[in-house]
């Protein structure tokens, strides 16, 4: 399978590319800038997601896409709009025009960030984005569903928690995913015959997890990394952080607290 990865210069790509190279030797990497750790045996195709013609060019001859591209943090709307809204549409439309069979959309926990941490949710709960970044991820899930059901593309949206070698605070004990487990989810999205239009959560084996990930398990996901193995270190780091009444209540953390001025509804629902 020839696979395209957008956002190849970003942190998630950097952590997963070495494993993906072994699984998909024809992996093509794309970003607006060349990754600074690009190897001689890696194929790089630069493209700006806001340029539909350029995105058409990089998706030509591709069978599957891992779409990590776009703004990856909370930013003003005029920065989110080009890459995360227009660029996301361009990616799906270019993939449709070129007959790409499967797309994995890197969604985020911030699409549902305004659920309280005490509430366990599945993929059927309504989106509650915690900022413009989260809104763009909800949009990506929606346009992915459009292209799945209207055009027959097989789409997997991964609501990724926090990717890293270990969880580094209390919240991440619930939302953390190790890169090896994330690659498992990539493979499911690219290869599993039952995938039609799926929303899966990107978390490892987390006893404190906020999310019901049963659909991923039904599709064969078997996370091998355990958050509680890092519990003491994460809780020690948490103890050094200042309290945040808003961020500590909601699943989205500081994204929820940023600009929060809902005086009529204190964080309790």
Per-10-residue mean pLDDT for the chain, 269 residues long?
A: 97 97 97 95 97 98 98 98 98 98 98 97 97 98 98 98 98 98 98 98 98 98 98 98 95 97 73
Q: How far apart are CA 202 and CA 244, in angstroms?
A: 25
Q: How far apart are CA 210 and CA 122, in angstroms?
A: 9
- pTM for this predicted structure: 0.96
Q: How far apart are CA 269 and CA 267, in angstroms?
A: 6
Which helix (H) or strand (E) segment holds residue 92: the answer is helix 87-97
Instruction: Give yes or no: 133 in active site.
Output: yes
H helices within the chain, ranges in order?
11-23, 52-59, 77-80, 87-97, 132-151, 170-175, 179-191, 214-218, 231-239, 254-257
Confidence at residue 226, expressed as pLDDT on a 0 to 100 scale: 98
| HSE value, Cβ hemisphere, 13 Å, CA-based, for 230 | 24
Confidence at residue 268, expressed as pLDDT on a 0 to 100 scale: 61
Catalytic residue among 24, 133, 147, 221: 133
Q: Does domain 3-257 have CATH number 3.40.50.20?
A: no
| Cα-based distances in Å from 157 to 102, 107, 123, 258 | 11, 6, 10, 25
Q: How far apart are CA 69 and CA 86, in angstroms?
A: 12
CB of 82 within 8 A of CB of 19? no
Axis crossing angle, helix 132-151 with helix 87-97, rounded to the nearest 10: 20
β-sheet bridge partners, residue 6: 67
Q: How far apart are CA 163 and CA 11, in angstroms?
A: 9
State the CB neighbour count (10 A cutoff) for residue 146: 14
Q: How far apart are CA 1 and CA 59, in angstroms?
A: 13
Query: Which residue in 71, 47, 42 sits closest to 59, CA to CA?
Result: 47
């Amino acid at each position: 399978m020839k696979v395209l990865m957008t956002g190849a210069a970003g942190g998630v790509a950097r952590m997963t590319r070495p494993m993906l190279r072994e699984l998909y030797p024809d992996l093509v990497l794309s970003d607006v800038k060349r990754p600074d750790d690009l190897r001689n045996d890696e194929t790089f195709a630069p493209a700006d997601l806001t340029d539909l013609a350029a995105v058409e060019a990089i998706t030509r001859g591709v069978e599957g896409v891992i779409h990590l591209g776009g703004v990856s943090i909370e930013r003003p709307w005029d920065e989110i709009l080009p890459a995360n809204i227009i660029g996301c549409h361009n990616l799906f439309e270019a993939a449709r025009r070129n007959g790409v069979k499967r797309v994995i959309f890197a969604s985020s926990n911030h699409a549902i960030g305004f659920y309280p941490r005490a509430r366990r949710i599945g993929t059927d709960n309504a989106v509650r984005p915690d900022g413009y970044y989260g809104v763009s991820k909800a949009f990506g899930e929606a346009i992915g569903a459009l292209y799945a059901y209207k055009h027959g593309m097989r789409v997997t949206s991964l609501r990724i928690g926090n990717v890293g070698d270990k969880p580094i605070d209390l919240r991440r004990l619930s939302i953390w995913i190790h890169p090896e487990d994330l690659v498992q989810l990539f493979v499911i999205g690219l290869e599993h015959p039952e995938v039609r239009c799926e929303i899966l959560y990107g978390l490892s084996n987390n006893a404190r997890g906020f999310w019901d990930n049963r659909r991923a398990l039904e599709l064969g996901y078997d996370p091998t990394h355990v958050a509680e193995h890092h519990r003491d270190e994460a809780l020690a780091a948490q103890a050094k952080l200042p309290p945040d009444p808003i961020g500590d209540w909601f699943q989205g953390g500081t994204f929820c607290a940023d600009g929060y001025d809902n005086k009529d509804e204190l964080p309790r629902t």
